[in-house]
Amino acid sequence: MTIQKGIITLTILIFISGLLTVILLLDDSHLSFFRAQQNQRKHYVERTLQLQKMTATKKQTACLDLPLNNNESVKQISIALEGSTDAIQYFLWCERMSLFKKSPKKGDNQGALKDFVSGEKLAYFRPHFSSPPRILNANKMPKLYWFSDSQAEVEINGTVSAVLIAEGDLKLTGKGRISGAVITSGNLTLDA
């Protein structure tokens, strides 16, 4: 008897659920809402994937393309799909790092390395420095020469347009002259 009651109850539930399904199928407004929502979600995911790919390719060169003549230390770059009506955007942040705290006003800045060079950011720039030559010849294009030795000696020939920075003592020899600045942490010795 209890098995028959269970079968009858199950049959009634299946019949009611089938009836409700038919009613929902006939009521297209609910189904179209869910379809539209699913299409919108699919469209959003497709656009987001396109933006992620664009951001990944632009990330390599976006900061390099910024002009050097602005004084902003941080710049926000917006990346959006062209011709899209939605407002999906990705952003990249570019930080401009400067090695110098301030520009030297005079040529001889003996023992003033800490006044001009930012110690915290030095670790970032150090891998980009190459060891300078021992003889500096005349040039027109300004250059930066970084001497990391505790004692360095350089011969100057002609007019050298440069900024010479020494983490220790620096000895300048030769008959030339420097158009620029010399910044040392230690002593500066001139030997003509």
Domain ranges of the chain: 2-95, 108-191
Question: One-letter amino acid identity for 32?
Answer: S
pTM over 0.75: no
Task: List the pLDDT tens digit at each of the 192 positions of the chain.
Answer: 667 778 888 899 999 998 888 877 767 776 788 888 999 999 889 888 988 998 888 888 888 888 877 777 788 888 888 776 767 888 888 888 888 888 777 777 777 778 888 878 888 888 888 778 888 888 888 888 888 877 788 888 888 888 888 888 888 888 888 888 888 888 888 876
